[in-house]
């Protein structure tokens, strides 16, 4: 699994002009916008690793201003959005190949497992719509953007 994790003050995702998921804003704590892609060989261990990493990622400021606090500790929220293009391979040519992305039916199940895992960790999770054409809006705080890969490719 691969993810782009951004620390945000607010974020939303819309489909056909209608907001389907939103976090933050109006005095609520910082949160995370997580763009998630599932690879062909990702299994239960990858789901567990991604949930643990996202929930425990210490990228929020402590009392001294150092990044030392995770989203659970802040009472923050997560906006989880499926984005298979994170598995796009452009090492050859300029058109991405998506042959390492998991097929949609199983990928949807894995994304749902991550959402359940994050909720089980005590987080409020808003979601996008799997396989929809989505418009994502966010206010990245810091800016802080972290790349995650359960296979430790990077």
Positions annotated as catalytic residues are 83-85
DSSP H or E stretch at residue 91: none
Phi first, then psi, for residue 49 (nearest 5°) are -65, -40
| CA within 13 Å, CB half, 40 | 5
| Rounded (5°) CA angle 74-79-83 | 140
* Cα R_g (the chain), whole angstroms: 15
């Amino acid at each position: 699994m691969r993810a782009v994790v951004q620390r945000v003050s607010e974020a939303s995702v819309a489909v056909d002009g209608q907001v389907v998921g939103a976090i933050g804003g109006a005095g609520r704590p910082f949160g995370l916008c997580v763009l998630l892609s599932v690879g062909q060989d990702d299994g239960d261990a990858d789901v567990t690793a991604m949930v643990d990493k996202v929930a425990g990622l210490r990228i929020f400021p402590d009392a001294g201003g150092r990044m030392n606090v995770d989203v659970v500790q802040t009472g923050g929220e997560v906006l989880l959005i499926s984005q298979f293009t994170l598995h796009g391979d452009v090492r050859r040519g300029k058109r991405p190949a998506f042959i390492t992305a998991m097929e949609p039916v199983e990928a949807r199940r894995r994304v749902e497992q991550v959402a359940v895992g994050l909720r089980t960790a005590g987080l409020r999770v808003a979601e996008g719509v799997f396989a929809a054409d989505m418009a994502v809006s966010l206010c990245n705080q810091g800016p802080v953007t972290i790349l995650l890969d359960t296979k430790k490719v990077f």
